[in-house]
Structure 1
Amino acid sequence: MAYTNQSQMNITDGLQYQGLLGLVLFSTVTTVPCCVFLFINGTMLFTLRSKPVFRETSRHILLYNLLLADTVVLVQSQALYLLSVCRIRLTYPVCGVLIMLTSLTTSISPLTLVLMSLERYVAVCYPLRHATIITIRNTEVAIIVVWAFSSLNVLTKVVLLLQFPLEDQQMKDFCGKESMLLDPVSDLYEKAFTYFLFVSAGVAVICSYIGVMVAARSASTDKASARKARNTLLLHLVQLGLSLLSTIHNFLLFSISKSLDRVKIVRIQIVIYLCIIILPRCLSSLIYGIRDQIIRPVLMYNLCSDLPCFRDFKKFKIKP
């Protein structure tokens, strides 16, 4: 925990060193892309609830769950980032609530990717049974199980925190995940759960990919459908890898902070933050908004129809 707190101190000290103008500039560099991605994610979430075809299709229901979790993490990450930049220290209870909410939604993303991969596997390998296996009811049950599993993880962390007495409610460091790892047991549990989660998710996605590859060689398999499912699973694997990178964000900062000056650390930190924290949380919207032939026209209409420069968007015959 000590090295991550020191890393945060170096970053915020670097921002303060550059003065108020530098602080505003670096805050804007991260806040503007975050707001843009939040707008895209929010529009995508609205799109997925705007039509019955989206509400009654399992893969779109799973996509909505993934986007919801990613959007919450995006808001939470940016809020904690701005708090650290402004050198605002919270109390342990407030920070604990924020971190537990982030922990809940962070673990939901890889688990939902597993469900989406399994759905594609069933669609290609068992096309005749897909409608009976991947039903709306089964999808909803699977989502409930994912949220319950993630909630159990959060509950375990809360129990570990309650066993650690706090003489002072005010935090001495900036609010972050590592700041709430107050004893070795909590740190060990956090690492064990993260390893288990991402290794299990990675194995599930890779096995689904191998299953689709094997099925694609069968003469009875739709080659176009198998190729599309294979590409989708590869994208899921990339998303999973980016989610894993976000868990080692602070470790990367600590590694670079040992050999560079404060100004360079801040600049590199912003690039890393944009690439492995903010961008992956909007990747699902960009991927499915472009690749899905059903979602794309509705999403483009919802994104652009209210903008002044796109008031004549309807003449392109893209209807919501």
Structure 2
Amino acid sequence: SSTCISNHPPAFLCLFFSCFSMMLYTTQLHSNITVELQFQGLLERLIISTLTTVLCCVFLFINVTMLFTLRSKPVFLETSRYVLLYNLLFADTAQLVQSQVLYLLAAYRIKLTYPLCGTLSLFANLVTVVSPLTLVVMSLERYVAVCYPLRHAAIITVRNTAVAILLVWTFSSLSVLIRVFLLLRFPFDDLESLQMTDFCSAVAMLLGPLADDYDKAYTCILFVSAGVAIISSYIGVMVAARLASADKSSASKARNTLLLHLVQLGLSLSSTIFNPLLAVLSRVIPRLLLVRIVNVFYVCIVISPRCLTSLIYGLRDQTIRPVLMSHLCCRHS
């Protein structure tokens, strides 16, 4: 009967099975109950994984359409903020695909080898760092546009933007190289097999205390630095907006954009604390409830923010909106 309670079937079924097993004491009945409960668990996983996959596919369609839109017109290719937006959206889309792959592997209890999981987790670390750094560059671009409008065209060129994007990916790659070095220090030869005993995740690949300490320190420094840069840009725009020489409309739009960047940074940070938060919750709540909380957190913290960039920028920007809507509706603009 305790098994029934933990899996929450209808109450009358629990009572029926409990009383019947007490009267007959037969192993066959217990076997039938076990099979039914396992089927219910599989059915629940199948339904939830299908729903999340459908939602993920919808978001992927929107993101890919947005990426196509940002390559469909010369104005998008020749404007720095659209080039930066493309880079941000590309990183978010890559995170979305990688997260869904790991989610499905865990949902169907498929365990990978350490080399394969390490490759997936290192790729996740790469694109995870790209997003906040791109937000910083986008914030600095808005700051220059408002505070130095006469020099904006000379400073924020497509060439300089490409250099900034290259630096962002280079910095992210250096972090990945350090993680590779830390993984190579782990004594894999002492393991009986390279087959993982747990499901693949970024946390599962933090092998050893040094790798865990590096991950925490790097994440903290990265997001604090990005937050300071965006907030400083916001303050600079606020100061410029109070000057008589500043373009009030431009300053107001830039201020709203920087607030949006700050919210996006917070969402990126929330996805990085997803696994540590679950580790804390696992100590205080039952496993079945934890699994259901994981599903809710996964949709709200991991999947949804990866699509917000497309929706927010696509609907906010007067230049992108008509082209994006045309492509979403499969019309030729």
Of 142, 147, 150 in structure 2, the residue corresponding to residue 125 of structure 1 is 147
Point out where structure 1 has 5 or more consecutive residues left out of the alignment. Answer: 1-14, 307-318
Match of 1:140 in 2: 162
Of 181, 202, 218 in structure 2, the residue corresponding to residue 193 of structure 1 is 218
Of 73, 88, 93 in structure 1, the residue corresponding to residue 115 of structure 2 is 93
Structure of greater relative contact order (alpha carbons < 8 Å, 6+ residues apart): 1
Match of 1:171 in 2: 196
Match runs of 1:48-127 below 5 Å: 48-127=70-149
Which amino acid is 1:202 matched to? G
Of 253, 272, 278 in structure 2, the residue corresponding to residue 247 of structure 1 is 272
Of 308, 311, 323 in structure 2, the residue corresponding to residue 283 of structure 1 is 308
Q: TM-score, normalised by structure 2?
A: 0.86
Runs of 4+ off more than 6 Å: none
Is 1:152 equivalent to 2:174 in the alignment?
yes
Is 1:29 equivalent to 2:54 in the alignment?
no
**Once the two structures are superposed, what CA deviation does each residue of 1:195-227 show, in whole Å capped at 9, x if it has no partner?**
111010000000000000000001111111111
Distance in 2 between the 1:131 and 1:301 partners? Answer: 30
State the secondary structure of the residue aligned to 1:170. Answer: coil
Q: TM-score, normalised by structure 1?
A: 0.89
**Once the two structures are superposed, what CA deviation does each residue of 1:252-309 show, in whole Å capped at 9, x if it has no partner?**
2233333333333222211111111001111110110010000000000000126xxx
Distance in 1 between the 2:136 and 2:212 partners? Answer: 26
* Percent identity over paired residues: 68
Which amino acid is 1:180 matched to? M
Distance in 2 between the 1:290 and 1:80 partners? Answer: 30
Match of 1:4 in 2: none
Which amino acid is 1:224 matched to? S
Distance in 2 between the 1:68 and 1:189 partners? Answer: 26
Between stretches 262-271 and 73-82, larger displacement belongs to 262-271
Match of 2:240 in 1: 215
Of 188, 212, 232 in structure 1, the residue corresponding to residue 257 of structure 2 is 232
Distance in 1 between the 2:186 and 2:206 partners? Answer: 10
Rg: which structure is higher?
A: 2
- What's the C-alpha RMSD, in Å, of the aligned pairs? 1.4
Distance in 2 between the 1:194 and 1:263 partners? Answer: 30
Q: CA deviation at 1:16?
A: 5.9
Match of 2:330 in 1: 305
Of 204, 210, 224 in structure 1, the residue corresponding to residue 229 of structure 2 is 204
Which amino acid is 2:260 matched to? L
Point out where structure 2 has 5 or more consecutive residues left out of the alignment. Answer: 1-36
State the secondary structure of the residue aligned to 1:270. Answer: helix
State the secondary structure of the residue aligned to 1:49. Answer: coil
Q: CA deviation at 1:17?
A: 7.7
Q: How many residues are matched?
A: 294
Could you tell me whether the CA contact under 8 Å between 1:16 and 1:23 is conserved in 2?
no
